[in-house]
Amino acid sequence: MVVELISVGTELLLGNIINTNTQYLAEKCALLGLSMFHQVTVGDNRERLSEAFETALKRSDVVILTGGLGPTEDDLTKEVCAEVMGLSLMEDAHTKNRIKEYFKNSIYKEIPDNNWKQALVPQGAAVLDNDNGTAPGLIIEKDGKAAILLPGPPNELKPLFKDQVFPYLQKRQPEVIRSQMIKICGHGESQVENKLLDLIDGQSNPTIATYAKTAEVHLRVTAKASSEEEAKSLLKPVVKEIKNRFGNDVYTTKEEETLEMAVVRLLKKYELTVTTAESCTGGLIAGRLVNVPGASEVFREGFVTYSNKAKRKHLDVSKGTLKKYGAVSEQTAKEMAIGGVFAADSDVCIAVTGIAGPDSDGDKPVGLVYMACYMKDKVSVEEYHFKGNREKIREQSVVKALDLLRRSILKNYH
């Protein structure tokens, strides 16, 4: 079954807002195993909306339209859909009552005249009650096709979709689709694909898709089947093979688990506390760790030591090291990591020092970053040469540092 999304709103064409509805709906449709080939955005314009909707009805089974259901003259979605599908609009008594009720509890005392327009629905349409606004959602079926109209504000759209549209679509979808996520750190996207070329080339069911993230690659393996068991048994050998090929480079196979969550999970598992000693990343590694609810169990304090003086004062980096090798050096990174463990009385410390730019530091180039991890009397250190602007260099540093922390723990416990 093929679904198409049409977002309606001139504010999207002007770039006033980011279209988060489309991502939300696309993800949910993928989860249902529905195929999506087109996402289209048009403005509040009768002719272009009409054309987009006609095209979508021809090539797709279900068309989900978002936005343009408001009370103003600009709002045309319902009118245009009814016209294209050859249906007239009639007043829906139930919806009229809901609008009355809604305004009773509203800060606006009077119901503006144009709000009654929202009580008109195409004949035969199913009305989806909207608890967070006046515009109802609508499902219109005709000739085996369905148009689903949803209000644009995400806080109205999401509950309407989740509670009323998702179950409707699930009923219409005969196939079972299951997928498995595999998240990898330590390879670029093309390297990952090269390592999987034989599997990707031969794929039809399950399929393997790669997604490049900052210093990470995510893989999604997806199977279509007639039953839950069949889907699982299609996935299992492929997932196992990929995990074998990448070993410890795989940091999680859980859909919702981020790198920092995986790190915090390992720290908790081995009952370790961690501290951070950051120079060029300036607190972002600590910030990532604190993303994880319950991080306080393993992370109690961190140091942002941007100046040499701060590195000496808080982390006991020696004056001689800073003078001889400079702040951006393997030696300084090591001393920061060791000093962090003692300063915070923690089990592990991850330390980063580097040149994020835009200016280089004497003969040391922009993008040169050293990171060190100290635990169990042993320090591991890595040297990177990152590309990109200041922001990108720092982002990559954060990911690689979290990954070094993860690998150091694994090395000690496996």
Q: Kindly identify the residues of this chain, within the stretch 128-187, that bind a copy of itself according to CB under 8 A.
A: 131-132, 153, 155, 159
Q: What is the dihedral of CA 188, 189, 190, 196, to 10 degrees?
A: 110
Please report how close the Cβ of residue 98 comes to a copy of itself at its closest, in angstroms. 12
Residue from 60, 276, 321, 332 binding a copy of itself (CB under 8 A): 276
Residue 13 near a copy of itself by CB under 8 A: yes
Task: Please identify, among the stretches 108-116, 119-127, 166-174, 238-246, the one whose residues bind a copy of itself according to the rule CB under 8 A.
Answer: 108-116
Q: What is the CA radius of gyration of the chain?
A: 28
Residue 266, number of CB atoms within 10 A of its CB: 19
Q: Which of the ranges 109-117, 136-144, 163-171, 332-340 carries the binding residues for a copy of itself, by CB under 8 A?
A: 109-117
Q: Is 362 in the site for a copy of itself (CB under 8 A)?
A: no
Residue 105 or 244: the one with the smaller Cβ distance to a copy of itself is 105
Classify residue 294 as exposed, middle or buried by CB count within 10 Å of its CB (0-12, 13-18, 19+): exposed
Cβ atoms of 75 and 49 within 8 Å: the answer is no
- Of residues 324 through 343, those in contact with a copy of itself by CB under 8 A are none
Within 200-229, which residues bind a copy of itself (CB under 8 A)? 200, 209-212, 218, 220
> Contact letters (x/-) for a copy of itself, 227-246, by CB under 8 A?
--------------------
CA distance 42 to 173: 28
- CA 240/CA 235 separation, integer angstroms: 9
Shortest spacing between CB 96 and a copy of itself, in angstroms: 16
Q: In this complex, which beta carbon is closest to a copy of itself, that of residue 248 or of residue 389?
A: 389
Contact range with a copy of itself by CB under 8 A, out of 70-78, 262-270, 333-341, 403-411 = 70-78
Q: Token digits for 375?
A: 């635990």
Tokens of 341: 């463990």
Spacing of C-alpha 345 from chain mean position: 35
Torsion of the alpha carbons at 59, 65, 71 and 74, rounded to the nearest 10:
-60
